[in-house]
Amino acid sequence: MNIALIAASLILTSAAVGGGLPRQAVGAAQRAARPASSARTGEQVFATNCARCHQPPMSLSPRITGTVMMHMRVRARLSGEDERLLLKYLAP
């Protein structure tokens, strides 16, 4: 059961660290929930692509946005243009 305690400690530690991240993209998910216009924007790319697999994140530190978007570009098979639009939207 020590392993379970260690795992629980890790979860709580992660919660404490993660909760302290800057929230400059707060509300991104709510903004993305608006109906998309015909022009492709970062907001539209965010709204249509993130929810294909998971609940969109409410916040992301600008410090790591570039790295995370590279990861999502590979995982979600996004184009380079999609990545640029998302970066501009999430870390303007």
Partner 1 sequence: MDLRERRIAGRWLLTIVLTCVIVHQVDAQDSADSGNNAGHAPVIQGGAGYVHNVSGGAPTLEPQIDPVLLIAFGRHFLLESRTDFTGFFQRQDQTSGPFTGKVFKTVEYAQIDWLANTHATVVGGRYLLPFGLYNERLEPIWIRNLQDSPLTASVGTRTTGAGDGLMVRGVALQRPAISAQYSVYGSAHSGINQFDSARTAGMDASVFLPGKRLEVGSSWQRFLENRHITSGAFYLSWQPPSTGLDVKAEQDISYFGHGYWIEAAYRESRMSLPQFARSLQPVVRMQQFFPSNGGGNGLPRVRTERFDFGVNYYLRDNLRLLSSYGRSFESQRNLNIWNLGLTYRFTIPLWFGGKE
Contact residue for partner 1 among 31, 35, 43, 46 (CB under 8 A): 35
CB of 27 to partner 1, least distance (A): 11
**Range 69-76, long-range pairs (CB < 8 A, 24+ positions):** 76/49, 76/52
| Close Cβ partners of 85 (under 8 Å, ≥ 6 residues apart) | 40, 41, 42, 45
Residues 8 to 27 in contact with partner 1, rule: CB under 8 A: 8, 10-11, 14-15, 17-18, 21-22
Residues 46 to 75 in contact with partner 1, rule: CB under 8 A: 48, 51-71, 73-75
